[in-house]
Chains A and B, each alone.
Chain A
Amino acid sequence: MNPKQKIRKATTHISQNEPLIFEKSSAGKKAYKLPPLDVPEVDPAKLLGGHARTDLGEIPEVSEIEIIRHYTRLSTWNYAVDHGMYPLGSCTMKYNPRVNEYVARLMGLAEAHPYQPERVSQGALRILKMLSEQLIEITGMQAITLQPAAGAHGELTGILMVRAYLESRGNPRKKILIPDSAHGTNPATAAMSGYTVENIKSNALGMVDIAALEAQVNHDVAALMLTNPNTLGVFEQEIHKIADILHAKGALLYMDGANMNALVGKVRPGDFGADVLHLNLHKTFSTPHGGGGPGSGPVACKKILEPFLPAPVVSTKKDGTLGFDYNRPKSIGRVRMFYGNFGMHVRALAYIMANGPDGLRQTTEDAVLNANYIRKKLEGVYDLPYRTPTMHEVVFSDRLQMAKGIKTGDIAKRLIDYGFHPYTVSFPLVVHGALMIEPTESESKAELDLFIDAMKAIAEEAEQNPELVAEAPHNTRISRLDEVSAARKPVLRWRPQTEAVAK
Chain B
Amino acid sequence: MRYLPKSQSDREVMLREIGASSIDDLFAAIPAEYRLKGDLKIPRQYAESEIVEFFRERAANSAQGYATFLGAGAYSHYRPVVIDSLISRGEFFTAYTPYQPEISQGTLQSIFEFQTMICELTGMDVANASMYDGSTGAAEALMMAARITGRSKGAVAKTVHPEYREVITTYARYQGMPITTFGYGKKGRVDLDMLDLAIDEETAGVLIQSPNFFGTIEDVAALADIVHSKGALLIVSIAEAVSLGIVRPPAEADIVSLEAQSFGVPLGFGGPYCGVLATRDKFVRQMPGRLVGEARDRHGNRGFVLTLSTREQHIRREKATSNICTNQALVALMCSIFMSVYGREGLQGLATQNLAKAHYAVEQFKQAGAAVLFEGAPRFNEFVIQTKNDPYTINDKLLDQRIIGGFPLKKFYPELENAALWCCTETTAKASIDAAAKEVAL
Contact = CB atoms under 8 A, between A and B. Distances in A.
Interface string A71-97: 110111111111100101001010111
A52 B246 contact: yes
- Among B98, B121, B169, B174, the most chain A Cβ lie within 10 Å of the Cβ of B174
Nearest to A176: B318
Contacts of B65: 107
Given A39-B356, A76-B106, A363-B4, A151 B325 contact: yes
Interface in B1-33: 1-6, 10-11, 13-15, 17-20, 23, 26-31
A288 B245 contact: no
B90 A82 contact: yes
A402 B46 CA distance: 50
B23 A336 contact: no
A353 B299 CA distance: 50
A60 B113 CA distance: 10
Contacts of A113: 63, 68, 70, 74, 76, 267, 269, 404
Contacts of A356: 42-46
B325 to A, nearest CB: 5
B318 A493 contact: no
Given A58-B116, A103-B55, A337-B270, A72 B74 contact: no
Contacts of A185: 313-314, 323, 325
A282 B244 CA distance: 32
Nearest to A33: B346
A413 B291 CA distance: 22
Contact of B11 (A72, A95, A112, A366): A366
Contacts of A189: 323
Given A152-B325, A191-B318, A291 B51 contact: no
Interface in A112-158: 112-117, 119-124, 126-127, 134, 137-138, 149-153, 155-156
B113 A20 contact: yes
A482 interface: yes
A350 B330 contact: no
Given A109-B62, A153-B136, A481-B296, A282 B326 contact: yes
- Among B93, B104, B134, B164, the most chain A Cβ lie within 10 Å of the Cβ of B93
Interface stretch (A244-252, A298-306, A460-468, A470-478): A470-478
A78 B166 contact: no
B170 A334 contact: yes
B113 A109 contact: no
A407 interface: no
Interface in B268-307: 268-272, 284, 290-299, 301, 303-305, 307
A169 interface: no
B11 A53 contact: no
A357 B40 contact: yes
A126 B58 contact: yes
B130 interface: yes
A317 interface: no
B299 A354 contact: no
A114 B341 contact: no
A421 B91 CA distance: 13
Contacts of B348: 53, 56
A182 B383 CA distance: 49
B246 A292 contact: no
A30 B299 CA distance: 35
A353 B343 contact: no
A138 B34 contact: no
Interface residues of A, number: 200
Interface string A370-395: 10110011000000000011010000
B297 A479 contact: yes
A337 B324 contact: no
B246 A358 contact: no
B422 interface: no
Contacts of B290: 292
A449 to B, nearest CB: 10
A442 B6 CA distance: 9
Contacts of A59: 117, 120-121, 339, 343-344, 347
Interface stretch (B79-87, B144-152, B227-235): B79-87
A360 interface: yes
Given A51-B217, A478-B303, A124 B269 contact: yes
A291 B103 contact: no
Given A41-B356, A138-B42, A188-B313, A490 B76 contact: no
Contacts of B267: 110-114
A500 B344 CA distance: 21
Contact of B55 (A342, A346, A481): A346
Contacts of B58: 108-109, 123-124, 126-127
Interface in A425-454: 427, 441-445, 447
Contacts of B316: 184, 188
A338 B117 contact: no
B100 interface: yes
Contact of B115 (A18, A79, A481, A492): A492
Contacts of A106: 55-56, 59
Contacts of B404: 113, 116-117, 120
Interface string B316-357: 111110111111111101001101111111111111110111
B70 A30 contact: no
Given A22-B116, A91-B96, A337 B134 contact: yes
A149 B272 contact: yes
A372 to B, nearest CB: 5
B268 A109 contact: yes
B64 to A, nearest CB: 4
A40 interface: yes
A43 to B, nearest CB: 9
Interface string A226-245: 00000000110101100000
Contacts of B104: 77-79, 291
A349 to B, nearest CB: 8
A291 B89 CA distance: 12
B110 interface: yes
Contact of B318 (A38, A187, A282, A494): A187
B72 to A, nearest CB: 6
A338 B167 CA distance: 10
Contacts of B352: 42, 44
Contact of A99 (B52, B170, B269, B337): B52
A331 to B, nearest CB: 9
A48 interface: yes
A239 B29 CA distance: 11
A412 interface: yes
A1 to B, nearest CB: 24
Contacts of B132: 149-150, 153, 294, 336
A111 B64 contact: yes
A257 interface: no
- Among B217, B295, B395, the most chain A Cβ lie within 10 Å of the Cβ of B295
Contacts of A203: none
B335 to A, nearest CB: 12
Given A53-B245, A442-B3, A194 B328 contact: no
Given A120-B62, A294-B331, A265 B13 contact: no
A49 B379 CA distance: 11
B107 A292 contact: yes
B76 A481 contact: no
Contact of B92 (A75, A267, A335): A75
A376 B17 contact: yes
A416 interface: yes
Given A71-B337, A188-B323, A413-B102, 5 more contacts: A32-B342, A59-B120, A292-B107, A480-B298, A492-B115
19 contacts: A34-B350, A53-B245, A74-B107, A102-B52, A103-B56, A109-B55, A109-B62, A112-B268, A120-B63, A123-B57, A188-B320, A191-B318, A334-B163, A358-B39, A363-B1, A365-B26, A366-B11, A445-B13, A481-B305
Q: Which 9 A-B pairs have the closest CB atoms?
A: A338-B270, A290-B330, A108-B59, A356-B45, A82-B90, A114-B270, A292-B329, A123-B61, A294-B272
